Amino acid sequence: MPYNFYAFLQNDNFIQNVCNIFTCISFIGTFYLLTCQFVKNRKNLSVSVIDYASRQGSVFLMLLFQNNSSLSLTISSIHIIHGEKRYQCELIPKKVRGKNALLIMSPMFPLNLVPKEGRQCFLEFLFAEDIPLGYGKKVVLQIHSNRGLISKQITLGRKSHYLNNKV
């Protein structure tokens, strides 16, 4: 009996079939790992508007950026698209509202988001008085990043107190 089993293992077809099975399992495993890596590393940025206001010809947005990717994301600029017009946000820190301890400033660009990080920012878009802001209106943002252009269409909710109270 041991001799027949040894002869069976020496069969070239058996060895070739075992090698083929291991090759297929290796290929499937490699494809699975590549697919998982691609899904984890794709640009996956979620953006939501927390508050918005329009005054003195400018549009102010309080945004929440969430980098859902496993790679860092650097935002170099943001535009609001309205019809054929593009309005770029201020790239250097500026006073949004308030004073002293209650001072709210826009951020310094570029914005660096590490993997899985979220960040709230107050942004100002100058000369954007013709952009209609209100409950249910849609705002299109074009976000320029190190990982390419990201476009987001966001439906505005109700106004909040962050940009709409006098301080």
The overall longest dimension of the chain from CA atoms, in Å, is 95
- Dump the DSSP string for 85-150: EEEEBP-S--EEE--GGG-EEPPPSSEEE-TT-EEEEEEEETT-TTS---TT-EEEEEEEETTEEE
The phi, psi pair for 24, rounded to 5°, reads -65, -45
Residues 167 and 102: beta-carbon distance below 8 Å: yes
Q: What is the pLDDT of residue 116?
A: 87
Pairwise pLDDT comparison (3 vs 60), residue with the higher score? 60
Label residue 144 by pLDDT band (50, 70, 90). very high
Mean pLDDT of the chain: 85
Q: What is the pLDDT of residue 7?
A: 60
Segment 47-83, tens digit of pLDDT: 999 999 888 888 999 999 999 888 889 999 999 998 8
* Full-model pTM: 0.73
User: With 80 as the cut, is the pLDDT of residue 137 above it?
Assistant: yes
Q: What is the mean pLDDT of residues 11-31?
A: 85
